[in-house]
């Protein structure tokens, strides 16, 4: 695929009502602001990951309302690279076997019916649509997207949580799983909780390090995308990758 094909941005995507993670009791919210009612009125894409899990869980336990339990479950799911086991989920306080089974069944059904393994990436927007649900996190999530030779998505993983720099985001961690995927290309992404999409010096350093490592490994470094809830910055589109500099 030619570079200019991937650089054909459609533009910024309008906000669809994401909310930052909440720890308040959902029952104290007006009915129009509760996750279940908003899902009925506006559809599931207007809810954050935490709110979707809160609907699945339905209720919490004494001293831990469902929103706090959903936040802890979300953190656990982000740590795992596959669908967790019942034993792993039952390790969370407030999550018994029945709820753990319900969550795992939901994840497996979603994998069977709506797996993104056949999603083809043609532009930065395609990647953005796959990862923007991470935009509401208060800490930066650095993600890797593995793609095959046809630029179809193989897997999306959280590599690190926290500030992006070369000490934390090391090529060894970024490429470990994509190598096991036998991928042909990789795209990396991370959210800027502040909403400012301008790359920092650390972002530039990490990008240069990963692009060099990809060249050594024989993997196409497709892009580094910085995103917020409504927009994104693409290193490739802005000609900030060495490969695009050489092609110009």
Residues 194-206 as b or e (16 or more Cβ within 10 Å = b): eeebebeeebeeb
Span 84-99, average pLDDT: 92
Mean pLDDT of 177-199: 94
CA atoms of 163 and 161, how far apart (whole Å) = 7
In the block, residue with structure tokens 């069944």: 105
Predicted confidence at residue 192, as pLDDT, reads 92
CATH topology of domain 117-247: Cytidine Deaminase; domain 2 (3.40.140)
Q: What is the mean pLDDT of residues 101-105?
A: 94
Q: How far apart are CA 169 and CA 163, in angstroms?
A: 9
**Percent residues over pLDDT 70 in the chain:** 81
Domain boundary assignment for the chain: 26-114, 117-247
Q: How far apart are CA 58 and CA 219, in angstroms?
A: 44
pLDDT in tens, 153-172: 998 999 998 877 655 789 99
Q: What is the mean pLDDT of the chain?
A: 84
Residue corresponding to tokens 């959210």: 191
Task: Express each pLDDT in 112-158 by its tens digit.
Answer: 767 766 689 999 999 999 999 899 888 899 999 999 999 999 989 99
Is the pLDDT at 20 greater than 50, yes or no?
A: no
The 8-class DSSP code of residue 34 comes to: S
**Is 115 in contact with 153 (CB distance < 8 Å)?**
no
pLDDT at 143: 94
**Of 179, 190, 108, residue with least CA distance to 146:** 179
- Number of neighbours of residue 56 by Cβ within 10 angstroms: 15
Predicted TM-score (pTM) of the model is: 0.67
- From CA 163, how far away is CA 203, in angstroms rounded? 10
Report the alpha-carbon distance of residue 235 to residue 241 in Å, rounded.
Answer: 6
* Of 20-29, 91-100, 148-157, 228-237, minimum mean pLDDT range: 20-29
- Range of weakest confidence among 80-89, 169-178, 229-238: 80-89
Distance CA 85, CA 19 (A): 29
Give bridge partners of residue 156 from the DSSP assignment: 145
Per-residue pLDDT band for 82 (boundaries 50, 70, 90) equals confident
């Amino acid at each position: 695929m030619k570079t200019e094909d991937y650089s054909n941005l459609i533009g910024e995507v309008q906000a669809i009502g994401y909310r930052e993670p909440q720890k308040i009791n959902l029952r104290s919210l007006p009915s129009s602001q509760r996750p279940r009612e908003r899902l009925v009125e506006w559809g599931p894409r207007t809810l954050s990951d935490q709110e979707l899990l809160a609907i699945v869980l339905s209720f919490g336990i004494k001293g831990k309302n469902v929103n706090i339990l959903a936040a802890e479950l979300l953190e656990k799911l982000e740590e795992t690279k596959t669908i967790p086991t019942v034993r792993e989920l039952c390790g969370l306080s407030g999550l018994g076997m029945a709820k753990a089974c319900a969550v795992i069944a939901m994840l497996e059904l979603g994998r069977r019916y709506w797996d993104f393994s056949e999603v083809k990436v043609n532009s930065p927007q395609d990647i953005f649509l796959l990862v923007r649900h991470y935009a509401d996190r208060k800490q930066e999530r650095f993600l890797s997207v593995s793609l095959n030779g046809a630029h179809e998505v193989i897997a999306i993983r959280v590599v690190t949580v926290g500030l992006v720099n070369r000490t934390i985001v090391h090529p060894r961690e970024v490429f470990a799983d994509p190598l096991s995927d036998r991928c042909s290309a990789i795209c990396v992404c991370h959210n800027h909780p502040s909403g400012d999409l301008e790359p920092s010096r650390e972002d530039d350093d990490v990008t240069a390090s990963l692009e060099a490592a990809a060249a050594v490994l024989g993997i196409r470094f497709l892009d580094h995308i910085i995103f917020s809830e409504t927009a994104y910055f693409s290193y490739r589109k802005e000609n900030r990758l060495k490969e695009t500099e050489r092609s110009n």
